[in-house]
Chain A
Amino acid sequence: MESDYTYTEAELIQGLKARNQRVFGYLYDHYSPALYGVALKILNDENAAGDTLQEVFLKIWRNIDRYNEEKGRLFTWMLNITRNTAIDMLRSKAHRFEQKIQDVGDDVHLYTGHLAVYQSTDHLGLSKVLEKLNKEQRIIIDLSYYKGCTQEEISTILNIPLGTVKTRTRLAMIKLRNLLKTL
């Protein structure tokens, strides 16, 4: 990393709006692992995730003037761009509907092997969370957040009634949030 200087969110936004390339580099260093993790989880393909990440940062650079601080934090905005870009890419690759389920099943390698190699943050925390969240709870959060599935799609995929999807999502999120508090 170039320097130890920490930018506040306001400084970051200001720097980006002023087209400061140094600030852009800092933003990349600090946020690319989280955003790449999201893209990889959605696409399950390192090349596609890399292309997505590049597109996402170009969008951030080009569209920073469209970012509205009143509507949410910078990270939330960047995460939304990443999810939308990656989900668009997933759909353009003409992944079949069933592929979404397949991908969630395949994600197991992300939770195990890959983590040890690439994980840049505190993965002890993550394994602690994942261990306690059961598979069904994890899948429901992943299908909704990462794969952009609707309630109806999740109801079909998991073969559970629509009402149950709602209850389970709520319970899964409550469990997740309680687990995060223990970290």
Chain B
Amino acid sequence: MSLERFISSGIIELYVTGMASEAEAKELEAAMVAYPELEKEIESCRRDLEQYVSLQAITPPPAIKDHLLRMVADETAKCEKR
């Protein structure tokens, strides 16, 4: 497949959303070696999807952070004792 064909086939979008089949993913990954521009296309598509995801950010309940920081501090203390 030529570079243009790859870009217009929709395979990049499938790959980035995680919908590409194993065969499609392999095909695309192999093509990235032949066309380094593809990697840029994929990364730009991924960044856009991530921007969409970030737009739907929601602040989690504050208790989660306290709990996590305690767990991490305990874990670190245990490691240092050893």
Contacts and interface: CB of A to CB of B under 8 A. Distances in A.
Contacts, number: 129
A95 interface: no
Contact residues of A: prevailing secondary structure: helix
B72 A176 contact: no
A165 B10 CA distance: 10
B19 to A, nearest CB: 4
A149 interface: yes
Contact of A54 (B9, B21, B54, B68): B68
How many interface residues does chain B have, given as a range?
35 or more
B52 to A, nearest CB: 6
Which of the listed residues B13, B49, B72 has the most CB atoms from chain A within 10 Å of its own CB? Answer: B13
A167 interface: yes
Given A58-B68, A76-B46, A180-B52, A118 B59 contact: yes
B37 interface: no
Contacts of A105: none
Contact of A180 (B14, B51, B61): B51
B53 A120 contact: no
A32 interface: yes
B50 A118 contact: no
A134 B45 CA distance: 19
Interface residues of A, number: 57
B56 A37 contact: yes
B78 interface: no
B48 A170 contact: no
Interface string A148-164: 11110010000000000
Contacts of B46: 72, 76
B71 interface: yes
Given A49-B60, A165-B19, A170-B9, 9 more contacts: A21-B69, A33-B57, A34-B53, A36-B57, A54-B64, A75-B50, A114-B58, A120-B57, A173-B45
